[in-house]
């Protein structure tokens, strides 16, 4: 099967190559266009046996052959109906249902645009993973695995050139070490200083602290497939048992707030009408006793010992929750798990006890929080979903204006409170610290700072130290925040989030528009953009980059692990997805 696909793909490539040779375009900028057209052929030959049709439209000028991919129908369950290059600098995306958050999703780092030629060359994996070829202000110089990631200024950048010649990423999991490095002047900026170090940094004239909006949430979850969490009354009782004020007051840095619902207050989807259960340990104890859970309930409290904006002191917070549970008679044994194993166990619904996990905004909209956790496509971490919540979320996601959407989210948040699939605990304030002489220093609400805009006191190298090493620089197939930040410097999406404010703003697309019901989105692309390898950016690069993620049968749908997790969480489903494993 695989062999035949590959052969037909190669045949298509050869045929189009010959056609192109015959046409012999006069324009000199064929570097990126010829291979891009080849991708069209690959996509068309690749998907003809499935429910989709792909067309290579007649080229209007004889040199640009616009690519497109269309699903035959929306029955496959995903958001995209078609993606097409209208002309060299126009891309049209048609959706199966209205999506007001679409520009935010398009701006997200996982949707960075690759050169179609390069994607083809790497086969959607291989070199692409560690040797990116983007359009960003920095390009890869050298990646010393386990040591540092060195980026250098891309002189062909379309916008304002990076202010430093080099940008170096370093990493350390220990906040004390990061602070020492910043104080010693060996790095220009550190991410996530320890909450107790905020005062130290603010009191140091050589340093500056920039706090981020707390667009995140820490929650204590449980899986309702397992007793006693299958009982709604038990879940509601636990929902009253945690003193969140005490946690935020004692263990969170300034700028944090108590979570009254899953949505952070600064994002659309937060509904002030909804408030969480009042803290009432006596009532919780009573309800748990009535339900037969107490006395003598033993469980586990699992978490990963990884500092995140929503979880500034994992061990300390977990121990306080353990103490609070002990106060109502629940014996929770702390279980610290390895990060990857913990996330997998949660996602696969294997955690039978309580667990502490959180979520940070990828783009500022309710869909990024509520749909991901409580929608029909959510992971199994809370057990089976709730259909009445799905209904409200669908209503919220498919209406156009904020006024129309809001009532759905009020209802959704109320239902989440009622069903209590978890307890939202806190929205953590977090920060990034810089040396005082860094000009243009800011904190991105979604943790995606653009270091190209910063001038570290005239030095030619900006050194940034974060929590962990990036996993790769092909972010279509990554979910890790440390990885996404590195991608942001090298790769660009059609749109971006404005520094500081987080508003969606132009990047590789200069303007975008939608039809009245928000199902047809047209992006006008920036002219004269070059990739790091010198190729010219055009609409086919956009189509190829999206198709590589969208079409599970595309030969380019490879990535590092092949999960493309963000694509399904943003756009619901892959085209031609293989049948679910039993």
Q: In this chain, which of 179, 234, 237, 267 binds other proteins, going by CB under 8 A?
A: 179
In the complex, least distance from residue 251 CB atom to other proteins, rounded to whole angstroms: 7
Q: Would you list the DSSP string of 15-34?
A: HHHHHHHHH----S--TTHH
Tell me 263's DSSP state: S
Site for other proteins (CB under 8 A): which residue of 322, 350, 379, 510? 322
Would you say 198 or 363 has its CB closer to other proteins?
A: 198
3-state helix, strand, coil in the chain (%, to 5): 35, 20, 45
What is the nearest approach in angstroms of other proteins to the Cβ of residue 316?
4
Q: Considering the rule CB under 8 A, would residue 250 count as an interface residue with other proteins?
A: yes
User: Backbone dihedral region of 31: left (phi > 0), alpha (psi from -120 to 50 degrees) or beta?
Assistant: alpha
Distance of CA 263 to the CA centre of its chain: 16
Tokens encoding 497: 């989030």
Is residue 420 reached through a cis peptide bond, with omega within 30 degrees of 0 on the bond before it?
no
Q: Least distance from C-beta 178 to other proteins, angstroms?
A: 9
C-alpha distances (whole Å) from 259 to each of 237, 390, 425, 467 are: 17, 22, 5, 25
What value does the CA radius of gyration of the chain take, rounded to a whole number of Å? 25
| Nearer Cβ to other proteins (19/341) | 341
Considering only residues 335 to 394 of the shown chain, the ones binding other proteins according to CB under 8 A are 336
Element (H, E) at 221: strand 216-221
Distance in Å, CB of 574 to other proteins, minimum? 36
- Decide whether 63 or 191 has the Cβ nearer to other proteins: 191
209 is a contact residue toward other proteins (CB under 8 A):
no
- Pick from 8, 29, 55, 319 the residue near other proteins by CB under 8 A: 319
Contacts to other proteins from residues 287-316, by CB under 8 A: 305, 313, 315-316
> CA angle at residue 139 from 135 to 140, to 5 degrees?
140
Restricted to residues 472-501, the positions that interact with other proteins (CB under 8 A) are none
**Residue 34 or 321: which CB sits closer to other proteins?**
321
Q: Name which of 305 and 414 has its Cβ closer to other proteins.
A: 305
Q: Whose Cβ is closer to other proteins: residue 251's or residue 531's? A: 251
Residue 246 engages other proteins in binding (rule: CB under 8 A)? yes
The 3-state DSSP class for residue 233 equals helix
Q: Give min distance, CB of 307 to other proteins, in A.
A: 9
> Phi, psi (5° rounding) for residue 149?
-115, 115
* Shortest distance (Å) from residue 253 CB to other proteins: 12
At residue 83, φ and ψ (nearest 5 deg) are -130, 120
Alpha carbon distance 431, 468 (integer Å): 16
Angle between helices 402-419 and 232-239 (to 10 degrees): 100
H helix or E strand, kind and range, residue 245: helix 244-251
Contact between 333 and other proteins (CB under 8 A)? yes
In 3D, which of 526, 528, 312, 339 has the Cα closest to residue 426? 312
- Asked if residue 176 binds other proteins (CB under 8 A), the reply is yes
Size of the site for other proteins (CB under 8 A): 24
Question: Does 194 participate in binding other proteins (rule CB under 8 A)?
Answer: yes
Using CA atoms, how far residue 37 sits from 44, 231, 576, in Å, is: 11, 57, 22
Min dist. Cβ of residue 303 to other proteins (A): 11
Binding flag, residue 196, other proteins (CB under 8 A) = yes
Interface with other proteins includes 418 (CB under 8 A)?
Answer: no
Of 18 and 336, CB closest to other proteins: 336
The least CB distance from residue 324 to other proteins, in Å, is: 9
Positions in the binding site for other proteins (CB under 8 A): 174-176, 179-180, 194, 196-197, 200, 246, 250-251, 305, 313, 315-316, 318-320, 322-323, 333-334, 336
């Amino acid at each position: 099967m695989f062999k035949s696909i590959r052969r037909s793909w190669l045949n298509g490539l050869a045929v189009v190559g010959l056609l192109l040779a015959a046409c012999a375009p006069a324009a000199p900028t064929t570097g990126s266009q010829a291979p891009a057209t080849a991708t069209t052929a690959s996509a068309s030959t690749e998907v003809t046996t499935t429910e989709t049709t792909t067309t290579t439209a007649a080229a209007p000028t004889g040199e640009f052959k616009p690519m497109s991919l269309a699903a035959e129908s929306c029955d496959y369950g995903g958001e995209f109906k078609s993606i097409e290059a209208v002309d060299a600098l126009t891309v049209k995306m048609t959706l199966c249902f209205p999506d007001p958050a679409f520009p935010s999703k398009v701006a997200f780092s996982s949707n960075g645009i690759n050169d179609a030629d390069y994607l083809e060359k790497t086969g959607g994996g291989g070199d692409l993973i560690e040797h990116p070829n983007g359009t960003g202000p920095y390009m890869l110089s050298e990646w010393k695995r386990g040591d540092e990631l060195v980026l250098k200024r891309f002189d062909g950048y379309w916008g304002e050139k990076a202010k430093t010649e080099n940008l170096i990423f370093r990493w350390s999991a220990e906040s004390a070490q990061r602070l020492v490095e910043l104080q010693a002047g060996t790095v220009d900026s550190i991410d996530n200083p320890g909450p107790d170090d905020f005062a130290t940094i603010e009191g140091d004239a050589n340093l500056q602290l920039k706090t981020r909006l707390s667009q995140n949430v820490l929650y204590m979850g449980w899986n309702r497939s397992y007793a006693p969490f299958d009982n709604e009354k038990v879940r509601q009782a636990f929902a009253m048992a945690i003193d969140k004020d005490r946690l935020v007051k004692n263990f969170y840095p300034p700028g944090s707030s108590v979570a009254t619902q899953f949505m952070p207050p600064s994002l659309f989807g937060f509904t002030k009408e909804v408030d969480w259960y009042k803290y009432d340990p006596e009532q919780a104890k009573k309800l748990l006793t009535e339900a037969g859970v107490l006395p003598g309930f033993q469980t586990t409290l699992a978490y990963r010992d990884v500092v995140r904006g929503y979880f500034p002191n994992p061990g300390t917070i977990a121990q306080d929750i353990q103490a609070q549970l002990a106060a109502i008679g629940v014996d929770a044994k702390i279980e610290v798990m390895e990060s990857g194993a913990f996330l997998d166990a949660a996602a696969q619904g294997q955690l039978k006890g309580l667990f502490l996990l959180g979520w940070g905004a990828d783009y500022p909209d309710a869909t990024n929080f509520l749909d991901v956790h409580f929608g029909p496509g959510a992971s199994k971490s809370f057990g089976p979903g709730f259909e009445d919540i799905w209904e409200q979320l669908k209503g919220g996601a498919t209406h156009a204006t904020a006024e129309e959407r809001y009532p759905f989210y009020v209802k959704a948040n109320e239902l989440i409170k009622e069903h209590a699939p978890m307890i939202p605990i806190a929205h953590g304030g977090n920060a990034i610290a810089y040396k005082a002489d860094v000009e243009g220093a800011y904190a991105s609400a979604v943790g995606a700072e653009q270091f190209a805009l910063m001038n570290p006191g005239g030095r030619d190298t900006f050194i940034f130290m974060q929590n962990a090493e990036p996993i790769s620089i092909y972010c279509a197939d990554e979910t890790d925040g440390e990885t996404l930040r590195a991608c942001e410097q090298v790769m660009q999406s059609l749109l971006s989030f404005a520094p500081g404010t987080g508003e969606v703003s132009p990047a590789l697309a200069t303007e975008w528009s939608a039809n009245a019901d928000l199902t047809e989105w047209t992006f006008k692309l920036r002219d004269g953009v070059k990739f790091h390898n010198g190729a010219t950016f055009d609409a086919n690069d956009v189509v190829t980059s999206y198709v590589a993620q969208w079409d599970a049968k595309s030969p380019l749908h490879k990535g590092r692990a092949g999960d493309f997790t963000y694509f399904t969480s943003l756009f619901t489903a892959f085209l031609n997805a293989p049948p679910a494993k039993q």
